[in-house]
């Protein structure tokens, strides 16, 4: 495995503030590019479509190095984890509610916790720090008449998550929504 390359002066594991555009599943192929708001490629998502655990990999922008892997923990689909290439935990997501004000917990390395608030099934939510201040928000960018709302914009307003953690959190949320639609979340 090749080492991850940096994009400009950004490192994929450093705290990040900005906008990430995450595509829906590629109609052909198994990877999709993640870009910055200016369309600069920053990473790729490799899908594992036949995985029961909703697995995915986050690759560098060139598709050569694996930056992280993620998927569902356990059988019921209420917990998701993203790990780095060495197996270390990058984030752990525990879902606790699906309603319009559903709150869930994101645990980062070192024990820092963030809360999420919003409508997961509508793919619109905020990430809050320990004091309750918003540090990020995710929204669907697909058209209003689209049958599938797969394209997402993740705006990180404070450098609390890295690029890899932000992509991983968005992918875990996407997997949870897909599991709820298929009835696999228990």
**Distance in angstroms (rounded) separating the CA atoms of residues 58 and 66:** 6
Q: Which domain holds residue 154?
A: 18-182
Give the span between the Cα atoms of 95 and 81, in whole angstroms.
11
Note whether residue 10 is domain-resident.
no
SS3 state at 157 = coil
> Residue 159 and residue 136: Cα distance in Å, rounded?
9
Does residue 6 sit within a domain? no
Q: What is the pLDDT of residue 100?
A: 46
Note whether residue 3 is domain-resident.
Answer: no
Which residues are registered as beta bridge partners of 40?
none
Per-residue pLDDT of the chain (186 residues; tens, 9 = 90+): 344 444 444 689 999 999 999 887 665 568 889 999 999 999 999 987 666 667 899 999 998 899 999 998 876 658 999 999 999 999 999 987 554 456 789 999 999 999 988 766 666 789 999 999 999 998 877 554 444 446 889 999 999 999 999 999 998 888 777 766 655 444
pLDDT at position 141, please?
A: 72
Number of domains composing the chain:
1
146 by DSSP, 3-state: which? coil
Under a CB-based contact definition with an 8 Å cutoff, are residues 93 and 150 in contact?
Answer: no
Take residue 184 and report the two structure tokens written for it: 């696999």
- Distance of alpha carbon 137 from alpha carbon 124, whole angstroms: 7
pTM for this structure?
A: 0.84
Q: Three-state SS for 109?
A: helix
Query: Residue 1 falls within a domain, yes or no?
Result: no
Which CATH number do you get for residue 133?
Answer: 3.20.90.10
Give domain status of residue 13, yes or no.
no
Q: Is residue 2 domain-resident? A: no
Residue 78's pLDDT is 80
Q: Where are the alpha helices (DSSP H) in the chain?
A: 163-182
| CA distances in angstroms from 44 to 39, 110, 130, 184, listed in the order given | 13, 26, 30, 26
Rounded to whole angstroms, how far apart are CA atoms 35 and 167? 11
CB 44 within 8 A of CB 32: yes
Helix, strand, coil in percent for the chain, rounding step 5: 15, 40, 45
Q: Look at residue 7 and tell me if it is in a domain.
A: no
Q: Is residue 5 situated within a structural domain? A: no
């Amino acid at each position: 495995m090749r080492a991850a390359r940096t994009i400009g002066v950004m490192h994929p594991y450093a705290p990040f503030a900005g906008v990430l555009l995450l595509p829906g599943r590629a109609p052909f192929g198994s990877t999709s590019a993640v870009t910055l708001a200016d369309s600069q490629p920053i990473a790729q998502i490799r899908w594992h479509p036949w995985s029961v655990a909703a697995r995915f990999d986050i690759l560098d922008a060139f598709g050569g190095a694996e930056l992280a892997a993620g998927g569902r923990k356990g059988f019921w689909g209420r917990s998701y984890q993203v790990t780095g290439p060495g197996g270390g935990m990058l984030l752990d997501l525990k879902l606790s509610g699906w309603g319009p004000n559903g709150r869930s917990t994101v645990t980062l390395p070192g024990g820092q916790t963030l809360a999420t608030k919003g409508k997961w099934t509508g793919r619109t939510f905020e990430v809050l720090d320990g004091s309750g201040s918003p540090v990020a928000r995710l929204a669907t960018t697909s058209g209003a008449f689209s049958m599938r709302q797969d394209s997402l914009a993740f705006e990180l307003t404070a450098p609390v998550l890295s690029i890899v953690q932000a992509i991983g959190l968005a992918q875990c949320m996407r997997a949870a929504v897909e599991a709820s639609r298929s009835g696999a979340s228990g």
